[in-house]
Structure 1
Amino acid sequence: MPYRILIVEDEPLVARRLQRLSTEILGDRLAACALATSVEEADQQLAGMDADVILLDLNLAGEDGFDLLKRFTAKAAHTIIVSAQTDRALEAFEYGVLDFVPKPFTRARLSKAFTRLWDSTPDRPAQPRQLSFETRGGFEVVELQDILYFKAADKYSEALLATGDTRFHDKSLNRLEHILASAFVRTHKSYLVHRTAILDIKSLEGSRYALHLSNGTELPVGRTRIDHVRQLLEARLEA
């Protein structure tokens, strides 16, 4: 599939190099590559661009890296950090970024980061622990252990929390699965469920199945996914 990229970088030379290397690496896979030098410009670009990935510098002038992490990981697009602040790498992965490319970067390292767009193997140095949700007043960070499951909601995803509250995330279910595969399992085309929330599987009439969750909820299980879910439950019992 063709990818649309937004580079958020306030150093012109670095921004142009990222743009050039992205074009070389992705080739026909690249549909568009836009530049932004500030959060405001990035928001304007994203308003008119259905971006697939954001290349983000954590050291934008006048902006705090922590706030940038919360803001951009809540977006629909995947986030790849390109920064000299390597001490923030583990924190960035815990927020669910796709990759962290340290500056100064090489073509090979940037290429490896792009490979994660189509390779979902969870070989990151740290797994996500929390997820940032965009709210009317800003952003809210929720621990993954407090989310029972995500439900597909058009291009967005609806999260049900252990408290019974719901939140909406801009990422689609497919993109959430890409970064949260270590903690969540895709049990149905419309559901992504936290592994620890699953108690057992119930057999229903007509060769149908349902998950029984820790809060008493029952969710459907896709026929092509039932064996995988069973294996996960068996492995958990044996551990």
Structure 2
Amino acid sequence: MKILIIEDEARIAKRIERMTRDFFDKEVQILLSDSIENGLNTIENQSIDLLLLDLNLNGEDGFEVLQNIVAKSFQTIIISAYTDKAITAFNYGVLDFVPKPFDETRLVQAFMRFTSTEGKDSHEIQFLAVKKAKTIKLITIKDIRYIKGAGIYTELYLSDGRVELHDKSMESLEKLLPKTFERIHKSYILCWQEAEKLVIEAGGRYNMLLKNGELLPVGRSKYKEIRQKLI
């Protein structure tokens, strides 16, 4: 696992590094960066799994980093004293916001959210970002009907019929999406408001009929849980 810490105060950066190693393991690779420029260069040239980002870097705004990497495949945890920016950060799809001053217990909570397979239970994001050529395009969460796995990527199926490719995996999106989204199959996450009814086919196959007439497969292990929600 490779983790990037962008923090301009060396003492705090070392403290975060120590806590990070204590939680994960001594073999985790940790990269340190003390500026926006160095951080963005590292992100461009390294494949990372988790970003720990301060929002005030020698007077520079860490949101510049966030805006540049919001469509990347890795997760981001903000560690900042600027708690007034928390809502905006969550809107950009960060996994957690750890306010400074922080202790190890609070940082561990953020790490547990990163390692958990559970969805996020608060701070619902407002949009997902997708890369279009050299620009970032924001997709409003309420416009997403369902999400389909596409290898290490995902496809966002939108209410206007468009399909957008997203860099984050199904597992990463499950941690970010609000509870209105349900994993119904290993390859599908559905906006629950789109569900009409379960359909049982010959051979014991299960499908979800959507309000627009589409059928999506339902995993056998998910059938009973989903049936209960539809009652």
TM-score, length-scaled by structure 1: 0.86
Instruction: Work out the CA distance in 2 between the residues paired with 1:231 and 1:50.
Output: 41
SS of corresponding position for 1:116: helix
Q: Using the alignment, how far apart are the partners of 1:68 and 1:213 within structure 2?
A: 38
1:33 is displaced (CA, Å) by 1.0
1:158-190 per-residue CA deviation (whole Å, 9 max, x = no partner) reads 111111111111110011012215121111111
2:129 aligned with 1:132:
yes
User: Match for residue 17 of structure 1?
Assistant: 15
Distance in 1, Cα, partners of 2:159 & 2:101: 42
Of residues 183, 188, 191 in structure 2, which corresponds to 1:186?
183
Structure 1 residue corresponding to 2:121, chosen from 123, 146, 166: 123
TM-superposed deviation, 1:96: 2.4
Percent of pairs with identical residues = 40
Aligned length: 230
Query: Structure 2: 5+ residue runs without aligned partners?
Result: none
For residues 198-218 of structure 1, the C-alpha deviation after alignment (integer angstroms, 9 at most, x for no partner) is 111112121111111233321
Q: What is the match of residue 81 of structure 1?
A: 78
Written as runs of structure 1 = structure 2, the 5 A alignment for 1:27-46 is 27=25, 31-46=28-43
Tell me, yes or no, if structure 1 residue 111 matches structure 2 residue 108: yes
Aligned partners of 2:136, 2:55: CA distance in 1, in Å? 17
What is the deviation of 1:135?
2.3
RMSD: 2.2
The letter for the 1-side match of 2:13 is A
Q: How does 1:142-153 map to 2 (within 5 A)?
A: 142-153=139-150
- Please give the secondary structure, in 1, of the residue aligned with 2:179: coil
Which residue of 2, 5, 8 maps to 2:3?
5
Distance 1:216 1:59 in 2: 49
User: 2-side partners of 1:12 and 1:184: how far apart?
Assistant: 40
Checking the alignment, whether the CA contact within 8 Å between 2:119 and 2:174 is kept in structure 1 is: no
Moved more, 81-90 or 175-184: 175-184
The offset of 1:25, in angstroms, is 2.7
Quote the offset at 1:133 in angstroms: 1.9
For the residues of structure 1 that align with 2:58 and 2:143, how far apart are their CA atoms? 34
Q: Distance in 1 between matches of 2:173 and 2:54?
A: 22
2:201 counterpart residue number: 204
Q: Does 1:223 align with 2:220?
A: yes
Give the counterpart of 2:69 among 65, 69, 72. 72
The code of the aligned residue for 1:6 comes to L
C-alpha distance 121-175 of structure 1, shift in aligned 2 (>3 A): closer
1:66 offset after TM fit, Å? 4.6
TM-score in terms of structure 2 length: 0.89
Deviation at 1:191, TM superposition (A): 0.8
| 1:65–1:32 CA distance, 2 compared to 1 (3 A) | closer
Give the deviation of 1:43 after TM superposition: 4.0
Distance across 1 between alignment mates of 2:214 and 2:43:
36
1:69 alignment partner AA: L
CA contact (8 A) 1:7 1:15 kept: yes
> 1:148, 1:25 → 2: CA distance?
37
Query: Which of 207, 213, 221 is the matching residue for 2:210?
Result: 213
| CA-to-aligned-CA distance 1:204-233 (integer Å, 9 cap, x gap) | 121111111233321111111111222222
Contact 1:52–1:77 under 8 Å retained in 2: yes
Segments of structure 1 that go 5 or more residues without pairing to the other structure are 235-239
SS in 2 for 1:23: helix
